[in-house]
Amino acid sequence: DAAEKGGYEHFMLKEIHEQPKGLEDTLNKRLKDGNIINLDGINMTKKDIEGFNKVYIVACGTAYHAGLVGKAAIEKMARIPVEVDVASEFRYRDPFVDESTLFIAISQSGETLDTLAALREAKSKGARILSVVNVVGSSVARESDDVFYTWAGPEISVASTKAYTTQLMCMYLLALYMGKEKGTIDGTYYAKVIEELKTIPEKLQHILDKEGDIEKLADIFYKREQVFFIGRGPDSGVAYEGSLKLKEISYINSFAIAAGELKHGTIALIEDDTLVIALATQDALFEKMVSNVEEIKARGARVIAIAKEGNTEIEKKADIVIYIPQCMDELTPLLSVVPLQLFAYFVAKNRGCNIDKPKNLAKSVTVE
Ligand code: G6P
């Protein structure tokens, strides 16, 4: 067991540290001649892409959160409307699916029963089925028309980390490919995103090298019984994932919400010393997040902000700022989730929780 953990105390920490490699592998499998995306084995011609009038992304848990970020990427780059749904909801509401629908199932294990059933439902209505899967030859992979594999390697910890970031990488590559074929993005933008994607493993490693800073924060806040996560745009998807990580392994009552929606109810719960983790990595939405932080500070919240290096303005508002390396707004989820994974890990460790096997949870849910 200890040998399998490669010197790490838990599989979760090992897997967090395997993310630079997983991302590099997932990217390299799909790049040829430097910056051409190669979708070999995936049947998706320009004509197919132009024929899709809608995309459904369906998944559960962490994979669903990868879908939220995937939606933003596909809508921005390929200009196709995308709906993201949890598999257990999609199945029971006679969704608008036909031959012009691209159905994307995201699943680490490829064995989640609800995701598999949703896939079968979409298939019976004529959709094209593409899955983003980690386990080669799994049920979801076998029943799909095409598979875009994540190259995360085996994920043992129940709380998913490297599967999530590699799922994001697949979604970015897919969105970029579709946008390029459709002509909704130009060559300069395409090349810029590819070059940035190549820098992500190193930037992620940079965050891991400073994990001691996050450990110190966990030492301060681990006794909390309630934590809120807020963000806008792609950051809201990451807020959901950060919140899920924390509740899964530390049993803290954590809650995530799109920051602009706070004032419609949740802000009623913010009082003196309430801990809020505010993701403010989007240059385009930075000022809006700064005012959200002001609003909650005015009610006494303790705020930890996540921002890009150089955006120091937030230091005047938040109590603590964690910086991630500079990168395009679209791609920050690949980096901003990492401090949240580490925070959840060190908080759970301080609380003495069973990190790799949290109570009541399974790695793969194969029942309804
Ligand atoms: C379970 C796991 C989660 C995972 C979800 C979906 O709830 O505990 O970590 O995100 O299932 O699993 P999948 O294998 O379909 O990605």
- Mean predicted confidence (pLDDT) in 121-149: 97
With the most atoms of ligand 1 within 8 angstroms of its CB, the residue from 90, 364, 366 to mutate is: 364
Atom of ligand 1 nearest to the CA of 361: 8
Q: What pLDDT, in 10s, does the model give residues 210-245?
A: 999 999 999 999 999 999 999 999 999 999 999 999
Which pLDDT value is given to residue 2?
A: 64
Q: How crowded is residue 101: how many other Cβ atoms within 10 Å of its Cβ? A: 20
pTM above 0.90, yes or no: yes
With the most atoms of ligand 1 within 8 angstroms of its CB, the residue from 133, 162, 365 to mutate is: 365
Q: From the CA of 280, how far away is ligand 1's center (Å)?
A: 27
Q: From the CA of 292, how far away is ligand 1's center (Å)?
A: 31
Nearest CA to ligand 1 atom 8: 363
With the most atoms of ligand 1 within 8 angstroms of its CB, the residue from 85, 106, 109, 138 to mutate is: 109
Q: Per-residue confidence at 34, pLDDT binned at 50, 70, 90?
A: confident
Q: Per-residue confidence at 64, pLDDT binned at 50, 70, 90?
A: very high
- Residues touching ligand 1 (Cβ under 6 Å) are 60-63, 107-109, 112, 115, 158-160, 361, 363-365
Nearest to 85 by CA among 41, 48, 127, 141: 127
To the query of whether residue 359 is one of the catalytic residues in this protein, the response is no
Nearest to 169 by CA among 59, 333, 337: 333
Question: In 210-319, which residue ranges form alpha helices assigned H by DSSP?
Answer: 211-221, 234-250, 286-298
Side-chain-facing half-sphere of 152: CA atoms under 13 Å: 29
- Mean predicted confidence (pLDDT) in 299-326: 96
- Mean predicted confidence (pLDDT) in 288-305: 96
Q: From the CA of 365, how far away is ligand 1's center (Å)?
A: 7
Q: How crowded is residue 338: how many other Cβ atoms within 10 Å of its Cβ? A: 28
Q: From the CA of 287, how far away is ligand 1's center (Å)?
A: 35
Average of per-residue pLDDT values in the chain: 96
Q: What pLDDT, in 10s, does the model give residues 276-287?
A: 999 999 999 999
The answer to whether residue 14 scores a pLDDT higher than 70 is yes
Cα(315)–Cα(304) distance, rounded to whole angstroms? 10
Q: What pLDDT, in 10s, does the model give residues 177-210?
A: 999 999 999 999 999 999 999 999 999 999 999 9
Which pLDDT value is given to residue 343?
A: 98
With pLDDT > 90 as the criterion, what percentage of the chain qualifies? 94
The answer to whether residue 1 scores a pLDDT higher than 80 is no
